[in-house]
Amino acid sequence: MTISTPGVTLGVVGGGQLGRMLAEAAAPLGVDLVVTDPTEDPPAGPVASDALVGDFDEFSTIRAVAERADYLTFEIELTDPDALEQVAEETGVPVHPKPDTLRLIQDKLVQKRRLGDAGVPVPAFRQVDDEDDLLAAGEELGYPLMLKAREGGYDGRGNYPVESPDDVTDALDAIQGPAMAEEMIDFERELAVMGCLGADERDTFPVTETIHREEILRETVSPPRADEDVRERARSIALDVLDAMEGRGVYGIELFETSDGEILLNEIAPRPHNSGHWTIEGCHTSQFEQHVRAVTGRPLGTTERRGPTVSANVLGDVPDRQRATLSGEDAVFETPRAHLHWYGKREVYRLRKMGHVTLVGDGETMDELLADVRALRERLTFQSRSQ
């Protein structure tokens, strides 16, 4: 007896950990992945059908991937929307999310203006091109405020807190380019919603609490330690955000719950997001399977949560970039309902995301579950191969 698969190939610009997890989710659906990445041996390489070498915005490489694919998507915003659009026109391969959505997302100022005009609540912000603009923003928004690079920032990179007028010069030197000043939000907690757009349907994964330190995501807690009405308002705002997006796929929507009980949009990622990694074990459909379903035109899967779930990022803890090995993973393997995800990166350095640990609850409080996953994460350390 012959068993056939759907025979669909998905091209992905980017072969990092998101590409790796997309490939892991696509395989059971009978979908092959071909990725492109600037590195010779990217994290997605061992699990994708093939990995082409080329810059994220290199037209010839993007076209080469598209020529081998039925659909094209991206797992990093550094790709060129003009190249994606031209490749789609020349090859007929559909790109999701749409290049126009990527253009919107890539510039934080454009993103905030568009969403604010659409009625989505956003923090107060102002365009900054020089010192006079930033000083004026300080007078208008008050200090401290956050200066953000309009393009290219992630994981805290491209963000600079401005405590007073004395910090203006240093802040602009750190950003080194077009910027946006945003009021510093006094928030109760940060929240995230993974939104989903299918061919003719939309949905969201359950609202999740995100915990950051040094502006890098450390843990997620789902359900969040927030009132039900807060969760409902967060989901409602996420659906409003989806209405402003074009193209199928999963969208990471980051939000603030302010100390006054408001929900404000922080930022959007037009792709699977770190704040949704918990869905791999925590939901019946992971964010990665959902993205593959969406961009290939399949019906969306259920976003129902299996149970209370927390995750903790495993970050590099060595001072200098080096080849390293992980130790302490047996503690995770020996713990019921705990799951280790290793991203396959060959080098480690301080605060680099190397993997994550997920823990699914069984009657614990969310505070207890969070303490347990943190304890597991603390058992994981990196050691130089030369030692």
Give the tens place of pLDDT for each residue, 195-225.
999 999 999 999 999 999 988 999 999 999 9
pLDDT given at position 317:
86
Q: 220 and 270 share a domain?
A: yes
The reply to whether 136 falls in a domain is yes
- 58 marked as binding residue: no
Query: Hey, what are 4's tokens?
Result: 């056939």
The pLDDT confidence band at residue 313, using thresholds 50, 70 and 90, is very high
In a domain, 116, yes or no: no
Distance between CA atoms of 31 and 208, rounded to whole angstroms? 29
Asked if residue 61 is part of any domain, the answer here is yes
Q: What tens digit of pLDDT does each residue of 6-23 get?
A: 579 999 999 999 999 999
Task: Tell whether residue 182 is among the known ligand binding residues.
Answer: yes
User: What pLDDT, on the 0 to 100 scale, is given for residue 214?
Assistant: 86
Helix (H) or strand (E) holding 16: none
Query: 159-183: b or e for each residue (b if 16 or more CB lie within 10 Å)?
Result: bbebeeeebbeebbeebeeebbbbb
Q: Does residue 130 sit in the same domain as residue 251?
A: no
* pLDDT confidence of residue 91: 97
Mean pLDDT of the chain: 94
Q: Are residues 128 and 259 in the same domain?
A: no
Residue 263 marked as a ligand binder: no
**3: annotated binding-site residue?**
no
Q: What residue numbers bound the domain in which 209 lies? A: 187-384
pLDDT the model gives residue 222: 98
Q: Spell out where the chain has E strands.
A: 8-13, 31-37, 50-53, 71-74, 125-128, 145-149, 159-162, 179-183, 187-197, 202-204, 208-213, 216-222, 249-258, 263-269, 309-315, 322-327, 338-342, 347-348, 353-360, 381-384
CATH number at residue 37: 3.40.50.20
Indicate the number of domains in the chain. 3
The answer on whether 112 is annotated among ligand-binding residues is no
- Its pTM stands at 0.94
% pLDDT > 90, the chain: 89
In a domain, 40, yes or no: yes
Q: What is the pLDDT of residues 90-102, one digit of tens each?
A: 999 999 999 999 9
> Does 108 show up as a binding residue in the annotation?
yes
The reply, when asked if residue 140 is annotated as ligand binding, is no
Predicted confidence at residue 385, as pLDDT, reads: 57
Helix (H, G, I), strand (E, B) or coil at 13: strand
190 is in an annotated binding site: yes
pLDDT in tens, 107-154: 999 999 999 999 999 999 999 999 999 999 999 999 999 999 998 766
Query: What average pLDDT does this structure show over 295-309?
Result: 97
For 168-177, how does the pLDDT look when each residue is reduced to its tens digit (9 = 90+)?
999 999 998 8
Task: Say if residue 185 carries a ligand binding annotation.
Answer: yes
Residue 345 in marked binding region: no
